[in-house]
Structure 1
Amino acid sequence: MKSLFKWLFIIGGVFLVLIIAAVIIIPQFVDVKKYKPTIEQKVAEATGRSFTLGDDMDLSVFPWVGVRLTDLHLGNPAGHKEKDMVSVKSFEVRLKVMPLLSKRIEVKTFVLDSPKIYLEKLKNGTANWEGLGKQQEKKADKEKKKGTSSSDQGLPIEALRVDNFSIINGELIYVDRKAAVKEEISDLSLKLENISLENPIGITLSARVDGKSVSIKTRIKGNKDSISLSDGLLAFDDSKLTFSGSAKEFSKPNLTFDLQLDGIDLDRYLPESSTKKGASPSHKKTKPAESAKKKTDYGPLRKLVLDGKIKIGKVKAHGAIVENVDIRILAENGIITIDPLGLSLYQGSVLSKVKLNVQKKYPRTNISLDAKGIQAGPLMKDALQKELIEGTLKTNLTLSMK
């Protein structure tokens, strides 16, 4: 019996050595390019679009299952300006083999280099993303009717780790020919750090949006019950926003957030007013919207739980400057309060409190406002470009509506 186990152990060891040797040696002799036409055909069938790959392709099997593809091109339908809807300079992914046996996914590398996505809507209203993958959807629907679809549960994962996840030099272009609109995101880079099921994931994203630089850095952690953001920093133009937040009890939901913005010039983003352009205001009569006749559903507001804080150092809008904005928003059991709602305005201050009660059929609103010490002359000059009055503005009012 001992001799039998000995020989079984030897034979098993030989097979293991042969398997390891095979997975190391096979990629050296397998011509991956031979499968290129098949890959192109399968992707084209699945998407309903032309698809091509470059000749520079690599395959590895052990200790990392890896593939590297270059010059990926997914075509546009006829009638569109660009030849490709999607193109990628190179794509590389490497996955460790042995941990898969214990339901652990360990990815060494996932890199997407120079992806370009071109989205276009023609003057007749058709878009190049319409119909993408419809043939595959029809096939899936047929299989579902036959009862051959796979289980929704999928393969359980015990652990996940990704060492390097990067998207570099990305570009996204959106063109609407009918509306004469073109939006562009360029120099897009995305890096995810410390990807796992247990620890917060670091996210670093940077891009140029219509020529303006934007960057985001944060850490995200979540599971099926909650999600949270921490150490967030958003930089755009000359503004910097730090942020954190969380969400749980998604059926309510229960939300918290803390936003702190150093300053922002809204005039950079707001459209010019019609009075500045010299256009006369429109007085067209409009019929009341049908939706206005319908009763408002306050159910979502009754369930909402919210605790939010907003602080802004300086805001410019329509020429006027507001400073030291301080807002706290609370919501629970159908009662929403904004207290404080405070700001500094031209050597004066405004302090307000808002309370909205939607516990009953009809909402009840209470507003109190105390403004004092506001220099009217500089305010009018900045906001209206006119010197209408001089003096100090002061008011105190209380409103109750239901």
Structure 2
Amino acid sequence: MRKFLIGLALVAVVLVAVVVAVPFLVPVEQYKGRIESEVAARTGREFRIQGPMALSLLPTLAVELNDVAFAGPPGARTPEMVRLGKLELELKPWPLIRGEIQIDKLVLRDPRIALEVDAQGRPNWALNQPTAANAPSQASPGAAPAPEGQPASGGGLPDLRFGEVQLINGQVSYFDARTQAAHEVKNVDVTLRAPDLDQPADVKGRLVYRDRPVTVDTRVDQPRALIETGASKLVATITGDLLTVKFDGALENGQAGPGARGALDLTAPALRDLATWATGNDPGELPVQSASVAGGLEASASRIALTSGTYKAGDVEATGNVGVALGGARPKIAGVLSVGRVNLDHYLDQSGGAAKPSAAPAPAQPAPAPADSGGWSTTPIDLSALRTVDADLKLALAGVIVKGVDVGASDVAIALDAGRLKAVMGETALFDGTVSGQVNADAASAVPALGLDLRINGVQAEPVLTRFADFNRLSGTARAVASLKTTGASQKAMVEGLNGQGSVTFTNGAINGINLAAMVRNATAAFQGQPVGNDPQKTDFAELGGNFTVRNGVVANDDLRLLAPLLRLEGKGTVSLPPKTIDYRIQPRLVGTIQGQGSDRDVAGISVPVLVRGSLENPTFAPDLAGLAEEALRDPEAIRRQIEGLKGANRDEAIKGVIEGLTGGQNQTPGQGSSNPAQQLKSLFGR
């Protein structure tokens, strides 16, 4: 037994010596040419081993190639599609005895992979039939004839069996000549496990894209079909700190580029950071912080679409179909969506709310005029975002909440083409009535332009004005139409360039805080030497309204009318928006009827017009004595009848009483106290 063990040990020593000596005895370098020619024959691409080769038998049969290059197709932007710092190949020895190649492990160190799609849509990873120039030649040193029964050249992949493939410290770039899109990932560490190219392959790893790490976990059912311009079922999960994507479907590798079809689930917890990371540009503050998408994905190099999708942005949810076309000058978004109730109060500054703190000090630039000075901002208006994308969207909104007001369901159509936006809103329920309109914005021209067409029908005015204008002195059913347009590089310029026309009518309502009929009666009573009454401060009316035009920021109205029991009121004048001033004339008159409409019976007292002038912030009210004199000259008989009706009263004191009854004793500026009619008029402006 002792001699047997000694003999066995001697055999082992000899075997070890042989295994150790073989790598030094076999002339590995002479196989370079054969390997290069064989790869070129099977792929149609040049393959070069520019560094040393090494062979070892322990612990496994292993081959090492250094500085390896695999060429791209002729005319490629990057001549070398793949370049490796080192290739390590470990083979299973026993299958080699049977003539099979089974890779136990393949390691690609420091690979540089350049993926490209040319102007005709041909990917550089689609292998063509080899040409005569790169097919193995009989004269090629080290070259060997193709095995019997196998063609000397072919475009297919060999029948290889894999154990594990590792890609360490890689760099992968992608360029599409059709769109000039370019991307690059670095620090790629990936492990592939696949029995062979016809069985499912698992891919796991991590990479860095624009300085952020991303992990990948993927399963491909048919690797060979996917590599050879085909398709395969794919289950993938991509996870990063800004994005999580899950996909279960099919991946295509066609002549026109990659494509996908299947179920997609995407979650983005920080949209601004994600947009900056994906595009390289910071979009600034966004209205929502997070978003998610789930639905059926159909994607190609020219279009991405989601069908039967569920979308969430902030607290807004939507369902429907949407797609993005990528082949034009700009991406174009098209779709039909049903959108849940949108609470705009979450995104708009609330009236009276605390100001949000700034994240950083404001840059040194001219500040817009303060609101309390009546100035308009001169900060440039930036509509450039409208030039980055086109859109054709149809939205069915379940409702909108703004300033606590629940606006009803509405259909909205959005069209955006080359920086020109048109948004049309169908009839939308609002406080017992409807509102509809259209907004236009033009960012294609050198100077931005805006337009508004608005229609209001049957809306209760008081709750709308109270909520949106903090004005609670007017009630009634409102009807209004307006068509406005403007151009300008700033808010101030747009106000100065505002033009258009419209009309506003309120029916069956009231003006709270002032009794216009009592004001006229008080003036008449004072003229006649009678005591002034103390009536409730409210003016009921059957109709109040008029038409208006806007020219270069000046609103003009010459047909204001108020029809109320015992009272008619007319007015005309202008409101100049750029300086925020008013120049208006109001003329009330009493009538001998309690009918609000349809009666023009005689005046029951003297009519004294009122001038409203000055700033909108602090207007002044005064009787129009010049206008009163003009009316007297036109109809002196009427004045004579009124004077004769004084019945012995002191005429001088009576005339003074008319003015005091109307203005509260002041003829140029508002008085003080609730009994002052001028102050009551002023209160209509919320002052």
State the TM-score, normalizing by the size of structure 2.
Answer: 0.33
Q: Does 1:229 align with 2:213?
A: no
**Which residue in the other structure is 2:286 paired with?**
320
**Which residue in the other structure is 2:269 paired with?**
262
**Which residue in the other structure is 1:377 paired with?**
348
Q: Secondary structure at the match of 2:244?
A: strand
Change beyond 3 A, Cα 1:186–1:217: closer
Aligned residues of 2:191 and 2:204 also touching (Cα < 8 A):
yes
- Counterpart CA distance in 2 for 1:397 and 1:57 is 73
Give the Å deviation of 1:173. 5.0
- Paired residues, number: 299
**Which residue in the other structure is 1:187 paired with?**
187
Give the Å deviation of 1:393. 6.8
Which deviates more from structure 2 when the two are superposed, residues 39-48 or residues 181-190? 39-48
Aligned residues of 2:42 and 2:157 also touching (Cα < 8 A):
no
Give the Å deviation of 1:166. 0.8
- Counterpart CA distance in 2 for 1:21 and 1:70 is 27
| AA in 1 matched with 2:344 | I
Change beyond 3 A, Cα 1:23–1:188: same
- After superposition, give the CA deviation of every residue in 1:144-202 in whole Å (9 maximum; x if it has no partner): xxx98599999989xx551x321112224568999998754332222225x34799754
Q: Does 1:245 align with 2:211?
A: no
Q: Secondary structure at the match of 1:321?
A: coil
- Counterpart CA distance in 1 for 2:43 and 2:292 is 51
Q: Secondary structure at the match of 1:135?
A: coil
**Which residue in the other structure is 2:682 paired with?**
none
Aligned residues of 1:367 and 1:399 also touching (Cα < 8 A):
no
- Counterpart CA distance in 2 for 1:155 and 1:41 is 14
- Counterpart CA distance in 2 for 1:377 and 1:183 is 37
- Counterpart CA distance in 2 for 1:354 and 1:69 is 54
- Counterpart CA distance in 2 for 1:121 and 1:257 is 25
Q: Secondary structure at the match of 2:341?
A: strand
Q: Does 1:98 align with 2:110?
A: no
- After superposition, give the CA deviation of every residue in 1:230-266 in whole Å (9 maximum; x if it has no partner): 6x2421xx41415252459xxxx98334333333325
Give the Å deviation of 1:98. 2.2
- Counterpart CA distance in 2 for 1:74 and 1:171 is 15
**Which residue in the other structure is 2:68 paired with?**
72
- Counterpart CA distance in 2 for 1:176 and 1:243 is 25
Aligned residues of 2:51 and 2:66 also touching (Cα < 8 A):
yes
Q: Secondary structure at the match of 2:216?
A: strand
Identity %: 20
Q: Determine which of 46, 52, 62 is the counterpart of 1:56.
A: 52
- After superposition, give the CA deviation of every residue in 1:103-148 in whole Å (9 maximum; x if it has no partner): 98643220011122457999xxxx99999975259969xxxxxx98
Give the Å deviation of 1:319. 2.6
Aligned residues of 1:65 and 1:97 also touching (Cα < 8 A):
yes
- Counterpart CA distance in 1 for 2:410 and 2:238 is 38
Give the Å deviation of 1:321. 3.0
- Counterpart CA distance in 1 for 2:221 and 2:44 is 36
Q: Secondary structure at the match of 2:206?
A: strand
- Counterpart CA distance in 2 for 1:50 and 1:153 is 16
- Counterpart CA distance in 1 for 2:132 and 2:40 is 10
Give the Å deviation of 1:370. 4.0
| AA in 1 matched with 2:62 | G
Change beyond 3 A, Cα 1:92–1:256: same
- Counterpart CA distance in 2 for 1:92 and 1:118 is 21
**Which residue in the other structure is 1:4 paired with?**
none
Change beyond 3 A, Cα 1:67–1:233: same
**Which residue in the other structure is 1:89 paired with?**
85
- Counterpart CA distance in 2 for 1:234 and 1:41 is 41
Task: Please list, as runs of the form range in 1=range in 2, the aligned pairs for 1:382-397 lying within 5 A after superposition.
Answer: 391=403, 394-397=406-409
Aligned residues of 1:103 and 1:156 also touching (Cα < 8 A):
no
**Which residue in the other structure is 1:293 paired with?**
none
| AA in 2 matched with 1:34 | Q
- Counterpart CA distance in 2 for 1:155 and 1:83 is 24
Aligned residues of 1:369 and 1:398 also touching (Cα < 8 A):
no
**Which residue in the other structure is 1:204 paired with?**
204
Aligned residues of 1:204 and 1:215 also touching (Cα < 8 A):
no
- Counterpart CA distance in 1 for 2:250 and 2:125 is 32
Q: Determine which of 27, 45, 53 is the counterpart of 1:31.
A: 27
Which protein has greater RCO, CA pairs closer than 8 Å, 6+ apart? 1
Change beyond 3 A, Cα 1:367–1:38: closer
Change beyond 3 A, Cα 1:271–1:373: same
Aligned residues of 2:189 and 2:205 also touching (Cα < 8 A):
yes
- Counterpart CA distance in 2 for 1:78 and 1:156 is 26
Give the Å deviation of 1:37. 4.5
- Counterpart CA distance in 1 for 2:349 and 2:206 is 39
Change beyond 3 A, Cα 1:243–1:68: same
Long gaps (5+) in structure 1: 1-19, 141-146, 273-315, 357-364
Aligned residues of 2:73 and 2:124 also touching (Cα < 8 A):
yes
Q: Does 1:350 align with 2:316?
A: yes
Aligned residues of 1:369 and 1:396 also touching (Cα < 8 A):
no
Aligned residues of 1:207 and 1:214 also touching (Cα < 8 A):
yes
| AA in 2 matched with 1:258 | D
Q: Secondary structure at the match of 1:320?
A: coil
- Counterpart CA distance in 1 for 2:250 and 2:181 is 35
Aligned residues of 2:261 and 2:296 also touching (Cα < 8 A):
no
Give the Å deviation of 1:322. 2.1
**Which residue in the other structure is 2:212 paired with?**
213
Aligned residues of 1:367 and 1:398 also touching (Cα < 8 A):
no
Give the Å deviation of 1:29. 1.9
| AA in 2 matched with 1:377 | L
Larger radius of gyration between Structure 1 and Structure 2: 2
| AA in 1 matched with 2:170 | G
**Which residue in the other structure is 1:275 paired with?**
none
| AA in 1 matched with 2:208 | R
Q: Determine which of 90, 109, 114 is the counterpart of 1:113.
A: 109
- Counterpart CA distance in 1 for 2:213 and 2:48 is 33
Give the Å deviation of 1:377. 3.0
| AA in 1 matched with 2:285 | G
